[in-house]
Chain A
């Protein structure tokens, strides 16, 4: 209310009077120092990736010369092909591609299931709170802060007792469990900000729990669902710990295979192949990051805010 009043008062004022203070000078010692700091910081963030890209395009003889920063003399995409198809993880030499497909098989269902669960949770908590629901929610949020190591072993025992340990459904369940606290929080905060009248009007018209959810709430949840998808896809794709513990050898995601390729190679270390493999593993989340832009920031910010 008050904000609206202030802006209407300010508008003619801003239109009529010149901006306060002297016009900032374009070049001053301060500005140069500012840009120098930003450029140095940008180099700190960019150099490792620059090294990775140029190294992945060099042949091994060229790498052994040790000119880390030099551009490849004879650029080759062979390391990329090797990383994708032939690099060895332990005994198998099928490259990263099986890991990529495993990651897809793990990520897609995990994201869908966890978002469905969380949106229903958030909706029920906001509009249909039953006795004890808030206590359950409190426990769930508490779970978001618990170190994974405290619950991993009981989960191993629990999943193996129902025969799901080291299976694809098993790792999907694990990702759904650990995604639930943050996502439920996200959806609950979103629904709590919607006007209650919307819900009341639907109730007066005789709509029930599921009817209101599917006809009213779900169509309105598109923006928050996008945030949730970004949060979950990058989170699950980047996961290593759950993948190595719960997925089982045949379902190991890309991150686990990457670590195996790089850190357990016997014989000659093929740095160019390793770096190509690393870039390939980072490609999916990076793509999401560059495409989604500010939604990504909103997602992580929303994911970190509690209450």
Chain B
């Protein structure tokens, strides 16, 4: 008990962090608690406390719109994260070759990220518009049978979203991975060259593992982006054609605003929370073990 009571609960520090306490406890603990609680009730437009057990979850998983949404988020997430990582890494490697006009290229690759996803969605909606966009332009160039209208076809609309996602996100991945590449010691390259290891081999086996931090950063940013894909869908397709590009984020908002079915909406929101909790718990476990090992080493 070396520390005094004052040190443990220094009043100005507590007062200064009241906003943090309110947000951490009031919003993130109590708020989420209520969301989960309401998912077990028959709440319609306003919350009520008529508990119906798992009925909302059963209705949720029987709703084809939700099933399509879940499929879409997995497909969109896997496609866009993979493409962004590969494309972003390629761009970063090429940018690292002492090229001319590096700043210009960097600005071009990154500027879409500065813009709202609403803007990104609208931009691509027009480029892919069958009457105005690429299809019509190619036909006017004399290729009259050219057909490219992914947004009006329920089977291809999701690919258009992926393209817009790549347009928006691969520049950031490039920027972060480029910073990681620049952080790798020049000596490593020299040593690898002396040993006669081919460049691609050096990238895969030596440099990439050294950039774990940069990859993790880029990956986390991508994942957060995928969860927030709401704006892009609303601007580009509105979830259509039909329900072909619906996503869980869109589904939840629709249930609580348009369809006024809060109970089921909160059940869907809880399902969105579940994978995040699992990943965070896993990450926390890894951090905790690493800290314990570090303490043991000291």
Evaluate contact between B256 and A258: CB separation under 8 angstroms. Answer: no
Evaluate contact between A38 and B99: CB separation under 8 angstroms. Answer: yes
- Chain A residues with CB under 8 Å of B175's CB are 297, 300-301
B-contacting 9-mer, from A45-53, A71-79, A85-93: A45-53
Evaluate contact between B19 and A180: CB separation under 8 angstroms. Answer: yes
Chain A proximity of B218: nearest CB distance (Å): 8
**Closest residue of chain A to B276, judged by CB?**
A145
Evaluate contact between A145 and B35: CB separation under 8 angstroms. Answer: no
Per the bound structure, the CA–CA distance linking A156 and B45 in Å amounts to 12
**Closest residue of chain B to A37, judged by CB?**
B94
B-contacting 9-mer, from A162-170, A191-199, A220-228, A234-242: A234-242
Per the bound structure, the CA–CA distance linking A258 and B121 in Å amounts to 11
- Chain B residues with CB under 8 Å of A258's CB are 118-119, 122
B77 on the A face (CB < 8 A)? no
B75 on the A face (CB < 8 A)? no
Interface of B is mostly: helix
- Contacts A34-B97, A151-B27 known; A124 to B17 CB distance under 8 Å? yes
Evaluate contact between B118 and A281: CB separation under 8 angstroms. Answer: yes
Evaluate contact between A149 and B272: CB separation under 8 angstroms. Answer: yes
**Closest residue of chain A to B248, judged by CB?**
A149
- Contacts A147-B269, A147-B273 known; A262 to B122 CB distance under 8 Å? yes
A21 on the B face (CB < 8 A)? yes
Evaluate contact between B38 and A153: CB separation under 8 angstroms. Answer: yes
**CB neighbors of B among A134-155 (8 A):** 136-137, 139-140, 142-143, 145-155
**CB neighbors of B among A166-223 (8 A):** 176-177, 180, 184, 208-210, 213
B167 on the A face (CB < 8 A)? yes
Evaluate contact between B234 and A48: CB separation under 8 angstroms. Answer: no
Chain A interfacial residues counted at CB < 8 A:
93
- Chain B residues with CB under 8 Å of A151's CB are 27-28, 31-32, 35
- Chain A residues with CB under 8 Å of B137's CB are 66-69
Evaluate contact between A42 and B118: CB separation under 8 angstroms. Answer: no
- Chain A residues with CB under 8 Å of B257's CB are 245
Chain B proximity of A206: nearest CB distance (Å): 14
Interface of A is mostly: helix
C-beta contact mask, A278-297 vs B, less than 8 Å → 1, else 0? 10011001101110000011
Evaluate contact between A136 and B20: CB separation under 8 angstroms. Answer: yes
- Chain A residues with CB under 8 Å of B94's CB are 34, 37-38
A81 on the B face (CB < 8 A)? no
- Chain A residues with CB under 8 Å of B87's CB are 41
- Chain B residues with CB under 8 Å of A143's CB are 23-24, 27-28
Per the bound structure, the CA–CA distance linking A300 and B276 in Å amounts to 21
A-contacting 9-mer, from B55-63, B104-112, B143-151, B154-162: B104-112
Evaluate contact between A20 and B110: CB separation under 8 angstroms. Answer: no
A120 on the B face (CB < 8 A)? yes
- Contacts A209-B10, A240-B117, A297-B175 known; A153 to B24 CB distance under 8 Å? no
- Chain A residues with CB under 8 Å of B31's CB are 150-151, 154-155, 158
Centre residue among B16, B111, B118, B218 by max chain A CB count within 10 A: B118
A251 on the B face (CB < 8 A)? no
Evaluate contact between B25 and A136: CB separation under 8 angstroms. Answer: yes
Closest 10 CB pairs of A and B: A209-B12, A238-B116, A289-B114, A128-B13, A68-B137, A143-B28, A154-B31, A304-B221, A149-B252, A139-B24
5 other A-B residue contacts (CB within 8 Å) besides A48-B124, A151-B28, A281-B116? A52-B126, A129-B13, A151-B35, A259-B118, A278-B123
